[in-house]
């Protein structure tokens, strides 16, 4: 099996979880990776201070789509107050693969927009 393109990464890429849009939604955010121009948007419905439902949309490489898919699964049901605590390390742990510096932003774009929607923080996760 390929060390980067593991079967579950390709599976998430080809069949991303929670892909699409939510209307109506309570929160949304949109951003892009300046290196490659890939774009990602997110819609979130909030209930009782938690992420009740979430959909992401856009286009990107296998790493960015799989990372967004895996991150979205983790975020659904999570209290909004816990989202700011998620960082780059957390995403890379969830992915379970080594991410080279050139692919780091691919892996982090999903969390960036999801964190942006819930906290208004537009910075890259560190």
- Give me the residues that bind other proteins (CB under 8 A), please: 2, 4-5, 10, 14, 35-39, 59-63, 65, 103, 106
**Residue 70, SS3 per DSSP:** helix
Closer to other proteins by Cβ: residue 9 or 44: 9
CA nearest to 40, candidates 107, 91, 113: 113
**Distance between CA atoms of residues 49 and 36, nearest Å:** 34
DSSP β-bridge partners for residue 22: none
Minimum distance of other proteins from residue 67's CB (angstroms): 13
Closer to other proteins by Cβ: residue 65 or 118: 65
Give the phi and the psi of residue 25 in degrees, each rounded to 5.
-135, 160
Minimum distance of other proteins from residue 62's CB (angstroms): 5
Minimum distance of other proteins from residue 61's CB (angstroms): 4
Closer to other proteins by Cβ: residue 46 or 61: 61
Closer to other proteins by Cβ: residue 59 or 81: 59
**Distance between CA atoms of residues 24 and 37, nearest Å:** 27
Q: Which two tokens stand for residue 58?
A: 């856009």
């Amino acid at each position: 099996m390929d060390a980067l393109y593991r079967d579950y990464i390709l599976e998430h890429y080809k069949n991303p979880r929670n892909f699409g849009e939510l209307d109506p939604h309570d929160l949304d955010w949109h951003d892009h990776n300046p290196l490659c121009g890939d774009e990602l948007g997110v819609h979130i419905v909030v209930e009782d201070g938690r992420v009740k439902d979430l959909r992401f949309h856009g286009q990107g490489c296998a790493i960015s789509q799989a990372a967004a898919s895996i991150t979205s699964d983790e975020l659904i049901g999570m209290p909004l107050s816990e989202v700011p605590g998620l960082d780059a390390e957390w995403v890379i742990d969830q992915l379970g693969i080594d991410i080279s510096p050139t692919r780091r932003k691919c892996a982090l774009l999903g969390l960036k927009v999801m964190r942006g929607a819930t906290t208004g923080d537009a910075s890259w996760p560190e």
